């Protein structure tokens, strides 16, 4: 027959395990707000029904960022974007390569789209875009400036 001392030990262990499990599932890494404006040729991008795009943050492991979560944000009608990680606003702190996809779209045909930025902006190693996510960013820290596609001759 178990003694009250052993029952207390089992209960204490069960409570400790439940607390550890709850803490482990409570939300992952600390997230910091990442918001900015995407500019093309000096003007805010005007996304909408026929122009869609998004910003993706790719962790830079060479600078100690080991984030493995998808971290991205849609570009809004005023060119502003807000990054989300696991459906929560923000990104874990650290250095990121940044890519941007922006295309003219046809709402009636999902296969009809035309990229509006150079392919380099869609490649994290070639985009030339990077920043460090910090707890208290300066205003406009996460603004992104792109060059549009050259005019066809």
Nearest of 73, 85, 72, 83 to residue 29 by alpha carbon? 85
In a domain, 66, yes or no: yes
User: Strand locations in 24-148, DSSP E?
Assistant: 35-40, 43-44, 51-59, 71-74, 80-82, 84-85, 88-89, 94-106, 109-115, 130-133, 144-146
**Residue 98 CB-half CA count within 13 A:** 23
In a domain, 98, yes or no: yes
Q: What is the pLDDT of residue 22?
A: 44
Task: Taking residues 113-124, report their average pLDDT.
Answer: 93
What mean pLDDT, rounded, does the chain reach? 86
In a domain, 19, yes or no: no
Q: What is the pLDDT of residue 85?
A: 96
Strands 144-146 and 35-40 come out as parallel
Task: Kindly indicate the confidence band of residue 21, based on its pLDDT and cuts at 50, 70 and 90.
Answer: very low
Task: Taking residues 60-69, report their average pLDDT.
Answer: 95
Q: What does R_g of the chain's alpha carbons equal in angstroms?
A: 22
Cα–Cα distance for residue pair 125/138, rounded to 1 Å = 25
In a domain, 11, yes or no: no
Structure tokens at 43: 């003007």
Task: Decide if pLDDT at 144 tops 70.
Answer: yes
Task: Kindly indicate the confidence band of residue 3, based on its pLDDT and cuts at 50, 70 and 90.
Answer: low
In a domain, 3, yes or no: no
Task: Decide if pLDDT at 17 tops 90.
Answer: no
In a domain, 2, yes or no: no
Task: Taking residues 23-39, report their average pLDDT.
Answer: 82
Beta-carbon contacts of residue 33 (< 8 Å; ≥ 6 apart) = 82, 89, 90, 137
In a domain, 28, yes or no: no
Q: What is the pLDDT of residue 94?
A: 98
Cα–Cα distance for residue pair 92/29, rounded to 1 Å = 6
Q: What is the pLDDT of residue 24?
A: 45
Question: pTM for this structure?
Answer: 0.78
Task: Taking residues 31-58, report their average pLDDT.
Answer: 94
Q: What is the pLDDT of residue 34?
A: 98
In a domain, 105, yes or no: yes
* Structural domain boundaries, residue 58: 35-146
Q: What is the pLDDT of residue 2?
A: 54
Q: What is the pLDDT of residue 28?
A: 78
Looking at the structure of the chain, the number of domains it has is 1
């Amino acid at each position: 027959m178990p003694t009250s001392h052993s029952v207390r030990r089992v209960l204490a262990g069960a409570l400790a395990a439940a607390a550890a499990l709850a803490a482990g599932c409570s939300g992952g890494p600390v997230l910091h707000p990442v918001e900015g404006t995407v500019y093309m040729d000096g003007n805010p991008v005007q996304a909408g029904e026929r122009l869609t795009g998004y910003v993706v943050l790719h962790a830079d492991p060479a600078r100690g960022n080991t984030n493995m979560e998808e971290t991205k944000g849609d570009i809004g009608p005023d060119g502003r974007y807000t990054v989300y990680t696991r459906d929560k606003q923000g990104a874990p702190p650290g250095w990121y390569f940044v890519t941007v996809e922006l295309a003219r779209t046809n709402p009636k045909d999902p296969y009809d789209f035309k990229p509006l930025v150079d392919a380099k902006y869609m490649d994290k190693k070639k985009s030339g875009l990077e920043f460090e996510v910090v707890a208290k960013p300066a205003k406009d820290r996460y603004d992104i400036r792109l060059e549009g596609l050259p005019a066809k001759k």
